[in-house]
Amino acid sequence: MSLEAEIRVLKEERRAVLLAHNYQRPEVQDVADYVGDSLYLSRKAREADREVIVFAGVRFMAETAKILNPTRTVLLPDPRAGCGLADSITAEQLRAWKREHPGAVVVAYINTSADVKAEADVCCTSSNALKIVEQVPPDREILFLPDMFLGDFVRRRTGRKIHLWVGDCPVHARLRPEALRQVRAEHPGAPVIAHPECGCGTQVLPDVDRVLSTDGMVRFAEETRDPEVIVATEVGILHRMRRLNPGTRFTPLDAGAICPYMKEIDLADVRDSLARLQHRIEVPIDVADRARLALERMVAA
Ligand code: 13P
Ligand code: SF4
C-alpha cells in the first residue's frame, strides 16, 4: 500500500483530520483534508469534531489548535518543526517589555509560543493584522511582536503608535530589496505579490503590488489573468498556485526561500504520527486558559 493510502486508512481508523499549511511538502498538502494559512487552519482546528487533529505545520500552529480545541488529541508529526520567528521572543522578555510600556496593548503575531500568547492581549495573523490593530482603542499604544517587518507594515498602513519587537523570520528576512529590483527588471510587467514578513518590508513593501497572507496569495494566484506573477514568500506555496492556475507562470522571488521547519514533516512522519499517536501537543492549563483569551479575541474580530 502507498504511504498516501496508509494515511487515508489510518485517518479513518483514528477518526482524525489532517491539516496542512501552504508551505508543506506538495505530497503532504495533497493528502491533507484542509490546506491553508494560519488563520484558516486555526478556525478549522477550533471547529474540528474529529477526535484527533494531525497538524502538518509547525509547533506554534499545533499549540494553537490544542488551545482552541483542548479536548482533541493534537499531533505534530515531527517535534523538530519549530519556527525561527517564534523563537525570537520568550515570555520573560515580553514581561520585561510590558513593564517598560505600562498600559500598552500587546498584539502578538500567531507565530509565538503558547507562553508568549498567554502574556498578550490579542493575537493576529498576516491576514488580519491590520484589522486587529485598527480595533485597538486609538488612545492606546501598541506593542507588536515578534515580526518587525509585519509590524512596520501595519504601523505605516494604520499610522498607529506601535513599538516593534526586533524579530524576523529567517526565511523571509532574506528576501531583500535588491532581489526585488532585479526581478522587476528581468520580468517587466509581472505583478509582485509578497508576504508581509518579507525582509524587503521596510523599504519595499509599499512598492510591491499586493501584500497578502499565504491564503491571500493563493486566492490572487487563482484569479489572476496575468501571464506571470512574482511570488515573494516560501516556495512551498507554488504547488497550490500552479495547480489552481496552470495558465500563469509563478516565479519565486528567491527559489532558495525554503523553511527548514516546515519541511521537517514528510509522508512517513504523518503515517507514523497517526499509527502511534505521536507527537502529542500539550499546553499547561493555566497557560492555555490565558492564551485562549488572546486567540479567541482574534477569532472573534
Ligand atoms: P500565513 O498565516 O500567511 O500562512 O503565514 C504563516 C507563516 O509562518 C509565514 O511564514
Ligand atoms: Fe516560522 Fe518563517 Fe518558517 Fe513561517 S517561514 S514557519 S515564520 S521560520
Q: How many domains does the chain have?
A: 3
Say what the pLDDT of residue 176 is: 84
Given the CA of residue 83, which atom of ligand 1 is nearest to it? 8
Residues 182 and 155 in one domain: no
Q: Which of 169, 184, 216 is the last residue of a domain?
A: 169
Given the CA of residue 111, which atom of ligand 1 is nearest to it? 8
Residue ranges of alpha helices (H) inside 79-200 are: 91-100, 114-117, 129-134, 148-158, 177-186
Say what the pLDDT of residue 279 is: 98
Mean pLDDT calculated for residue range 270-297: 98
Three-state secondary structure call for residue 21: strand
Mean pLDDT calculated for residue range 26-34: 98
Say what the pLDDT of residue 246 is: 97
DSSP state of 146: S
Residue to substitute in 168, 197, 298 for testing ligand 1 pocket (most ligand atoms within 8 angstroms of CB)? 197
Say what the pLDDT of residue 203 is: 58
Residue nearest to atom 6 of ligand 2 (CA): 83
Evaluate whether 68 touches 45 at the Cβ level (below 8 Å). yes
pLDDT digits (tens, 9 = 90+) for 177-224: 888 889 999 999 999 999 999 987 555 566 789 999 999 999 999 999
Mean pLDDT calculated for residue range 5-19: 98
> Would residue 270 be called left, alpha or beta, if left means φ above 0 and alpha means ψ between -120 and 50 degrees?
alpha
Q: Kindly indicate the confidence band of residue 27, based on its pLDDT and cuts at 50, 70 and 90.
A: very high
Given the CA of residue 217, which atom of ligand 1 is nearest to it? 3
- Pocket lining: 24 vs ligand 2, CB cutoff 6 Å: no
Domain membership flag for residue 225? yes
* Nearby residues of 216 by Cβ (< 8 Å), 6 or more positions away: 37, 126, 127, 210
Given the CA of residue 197, which atom of ligand 2 is nearest to it? 7
DSSP string, 191-234: -EEE-TT-TTHHHHGGGSSEE--HHHHHHHHHH---SEEEEES-
The Cα–Cα gap between 230 and 183 comes to 8
The Cα–Cα gap between 55 and 38 comes to 11
Q: Quick one: CA dihedral 288, 294, 296, 299, positive or negative?
A: negative
Mean pLDDT calculated for residue range 17-41: 98
- Ligand number nearest CA of 170 is 2
Say what the pLDDT of residue 40 is: 98
Of 52, 22, 93, give the one whose Cα is nearest residue 277.
Answer: 52
Calculate helix-pair angle for 3-13, 267-276, nearest 10 degrees.
30
* Nearby residues of 206 by Cβ (< 8 Å), 6 or more positions away: 156
Look up cell 520585561; give the residue: 96
Given the CA of residue 169, which atom of ligand 2 is nearest to it? 2
Domain membership flag for residue 299? no
Residues 162 and 189 in one domain: no
Say what the pLDDT of residue 206 is: 63
Domain membership flag for residue 287? no
Residues 99 and 164 in one domain: yes
Residue to substitute in 43, 55, 214 for testing ligand 1 pocket (most ligand atoms within 8 angstroms of CB)? 214
Ligand 1 binding site (Cβ under 6 Å of any ligand atom): 22, 37-38, 111, 125-126, 169, 197, 213-214
Residue nearest to atom 2 of ligand 1 (CA): 38
Look up cell 510587467; give the residue: 189
> Is the per-residue pLDDT at 82 higher than 80?
yes
Range of the domain at 218: 171-252
Mean pLDDT calculated for residue range 275-298: 98
Which pTM does this prediction carry? 0.97
| pLDDT mean across residues, the chain | 96
pLDDT digits (tens, 9 = 90+) for 140-187: 999 999 999 999 999 999 999 999 999 999 999 998 888 888 999 999
Look up cell 516593534; give the residue: 164
- Pocket lining: 84 vs ligand 2, CB cutoff 6 Å: yes
Residue nearest to atom 1 of ligand 2 (CA): 83
Return the amino acid letter for 188: P
Of 196, 189, 260, 207, give the one whose Cα is nearest residue 233.
Answer: 196
Return the exposure string of 196-223: e unless at least 16 CB atoms fall within 10 Å of the residue's CB, then b: bbbbbbeebbeebeebbbbbbbbebbee
Residues 37 and 69 in one domain: yes
Residues 149 and 205 in one domain: no
Say what the pLDDT of residue 293 is: 98
CA 13 to ligand 1 center in whole angstroms: 31
DSSP state of 281: P
Say what the pLDDT of residue 207 is: 72
Give the CATH number for residue 119: 3.40.50.10800
